[in-house]
Amino acid sequence: MKKQFLTSLAALLFATGLVGFAVAQQQQVQAMRSTPIDAPNRLGPDFKWEGKEGRMQRNYRQQPPLIPHSIAQYQIDTRTNQCLSCHDWTKAGERGAPTLSMTHYLDRDGNELDQLAGTRYFCNQCHVPQADVPPLVENTFQPSAPVSVR
Ligand code: HEC
Ligand code: HEC
């Protein structure tokens, strides 16, 4: 009997804790998206980092570089990928754009391909345009190596 009471008490405390936590979360965390979920989310004005060659320094070795130009006009869907019209190895030379690195032409077994690997097709799954956004929550993050341009 006593044991059952204790179990219910524990469950009640846990549930109250969860609700309290949810309420606290709602109050403290501010979303990046300021518009309602069913309204279009407008991007901020295009932003270009003014450091060396307009490139933002990466924070760690494996970070996908941030995109130093607007991408609003480039479509990516299952039929077309306009990023490739400048960045694919077959076009990059004549368009003066950086060529996709070899990692973008390796299939999941590590075979080297002539065409972009399917796993790299949706560029903005990894690459995002540069933006002027202060951290939402103050933090003590440090890049993994000292950097010269920031
Ligand atoms: C009209 C040609 C063109 C198109 C289309 C284009 N880019 Fe670029 N991209 C460039 C050029 C040129 C640069 C070199 C930096 C600069 O001049 O802005 C660049 C730079 C980049 C970089 C930085 C590479 C680095 O090493 O820092 C990334 C990432 C990138 N583009 C991704 C994309 C993605 C993703 C798309 C499609 C949404 C795209 N680009 C479409 C021309 C293009
Ligand atoms: C799965 C994540 C992922 C996807 C998808 C992806 N990339 Fe990358 N990309 C990276 C990473 C990580 C790097 C940096 C390390 C490297 O080169 O692999 C990179 C590097 C680059 C570079 C710089 C190459 C260099 O040698 O400096 C360009 C340009 C680029 N990507 C463009 C694109 C474009 C355009 C697409 C879509 C066709 C794309 N990426 C898709 C992760 C990705």
Residues 68 and 129 placed together within one structural domain of the fold: yes
pLDDT, averaged across the chain: 81
Phi-psi region of 30 (alpha: psi -120 to 50; beta: other; left: phi over 0): beta
The answer to whether 106 and 112 are in contact (CB under 8 A) is: yes
pLDDT (0 to 100) of residue 79: 95
- The whole-number average pLDDT for the span 7-19 is 62
Global confidence as pTM: 0.80
Q: How confident is the model at residue 28 (pLDDT cuts 50, 70, 90)?
A: low
For 10, phi then psi, to 5°, come to -60, -45
Specify whether 125 is located in the same domain as 71.
yes
| pLDDT band (50, 70, 90) for residue 150 | very low
Judged against a pLDDT cut of 80, whether residue 45 lies above it is answered with no
Which CATH number do you get for residue 103?
1.10.1130.10
The answer to whether 33 and 43 are in contact (CB under 8 A) is no
Does residue 69 lie within any of the structural domains? Answer: yes
Structural domain boundaries, residue 74:
64-133
Return d(Cα 7, Cα 117) in angstroms, integer: 54
Pocket of ligand 1 (CB under 6 A): 54-55, 65, 67-69, 71, 74, 82-83, 85-87, 95-98, 123-124, 127
In a domain, 115, yes or no: yes
Separation of CA 101 and ligand 2 centre (Å)? 7
Question: CA-CA distance, 71 to 9, in Å (whole number)?
Answer: 55
